[in-house]
Structure 1
Amino acid sequence: MTDGPPLMLNRAFFERKENLLKILQLILGFINIFTNYWCYPNQHFLYCGERYFTSAQVFQLVVFNGFCLCLTFSLIIANIAGVYDAYYKTNPYVLERYLIYLQTFLYTVAYITLVVDFESNPYAKAFAIPLISTTLTLLAYVVDAMMQCRRKNVFGQ
């Protein structure tokens, strides 16, 4: 006996633009977490190195990049596994919409934090690497949030 409906592989995963955007967000999230780990603005060293010197860098890695990366990965796995179709009574599309809004807000705060750290340290061209990657990731989440806003209320949202 099963406790719930069966999960099935979502074969139409790659047909929706939102799902392709989620894969792009996952790739950009990995790039972003790597660049924030490897090259973060630091007043003591004006070159990229794998060093933690500020609490802002750990905050960027764990709270913003790591958390959003795990959420995006879990949304992709849930969509591929067919959780959206199997548990339609709980309306996972509304949950996805709110999670995208949360991730967009978190990346906006991460971007502001990074700009403040970038401006408060001596200028080095290497520090532009995490700023560029965070900007690209933020833009991907903003586009996804805009797509979520424009989505019709097809699923009873």
Structure 2
Amino acid sequence: MLELALRKELQGIHFWATLYVLFVLMGSLWHVLRVRTWPSTEGQLLQIGIRPLGTPDLQTNQQDYVPAALYKYQVNGNYYEGHDISVWKMSASGMLKNVAYFLPKQVQVDAFGKVIVHYNPKCPRKSLLLRPGWASIIFLCLLMMITAGFYIWRW
């Protein structure tokens, strides 16, 4: 396959591109599986919603928005602030701006602003408000099967 890719033949290029995509998807799956084992603690939600990403495009007046949160929590007597909601990163702009509210709406907050914070036990400053579920695992596995299946079907 390396020889085919060096000769710029489509099958060789497709093979190495497929291998790369599978490697990235396996890394994502490994990360999701690790995050599912993170311990959790109670935290205080300070802010949640969406925020602008970068600077607006002055040519089109389009602005990208991303889900944003601010919360504080305590692990082993140390206080931390977190910003991440999920392992999934997303942005939206224009008419789809409201799609960016999808992740913030998934966070369960009690009447006192308390939330469950999932944190990395080896590095407690890394945290999330939403633990990845089975849907994330199934989605990544399906993407891997589709990627490999497309290569096998094509060649």
Give me the TM-score of the superposition, normalised by structure 1.
0.31
Higher helix share: 1
Greater length-normalized contact order (CA 8 Å, ≥ 6 residues apart): 1
Higher strand share: 2
